[in-house]
């Protein structure tokens, strides 16, 4: 799968070969996305998005935004720069 995370400032993540993605929706519920997931558009919360490529798991802080899943492409369009280590938006 392809994971694309964009903000008004530009592309934060663009990676192919993703095995799965885990992100929290605005209601607080987590969603795990695997190959051939059904198409979906939803609002996601500010959280730490996790994804796996090969045997390595990566974490990417994201601000809230829109999640779109279609044709094995996961797009997260976020409001701004990710939060810093204190949880504050840069």
Parse the chain into domains and list their residue ranges. Answer: 2-78
Q: Check residue 29 and give its pLDDT.
A: 96
pTM, two decimal places = 0.88
Three-class DSSP category at 82:
coil
Write the pLDDT tens digit of every residue in 14-58. Answer: 999 999 999 999 999 999 999 999 999 999 999 999 999 999 999
Q: Check residue 81 and give its pLDDT.
A: 73
* Topology adopted by domain 2-78: ATP Synthase; domain 1 (2.60.15)
**Contacting residues for 90 by C-beta, under 8 A, at least 6 apart:** 80, 81, 82, 83, 84
Q: Is the model's pLDDT at 89 over the cut of 50?
A: no
């Amino acid at each position: 799968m392809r994971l694309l995370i964009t903000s008004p400032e530009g592309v934060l993540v663009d990676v192919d070969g993703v095995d799965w993605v885990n992100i929290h929706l605005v209601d607080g519920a987590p969603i795990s996305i695997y190959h051939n997931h059904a198409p979906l558009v939803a609002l996601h919360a500010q959280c730490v998005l996790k994804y796996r490529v090969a045997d390595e798991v990566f974490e990417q802080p994201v601000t809230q935004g829109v999640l779109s899943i279609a044709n094995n492409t996961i797009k997260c369009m976020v409001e701004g720069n990710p939060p810093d280590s204190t949880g504050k938006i840069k």
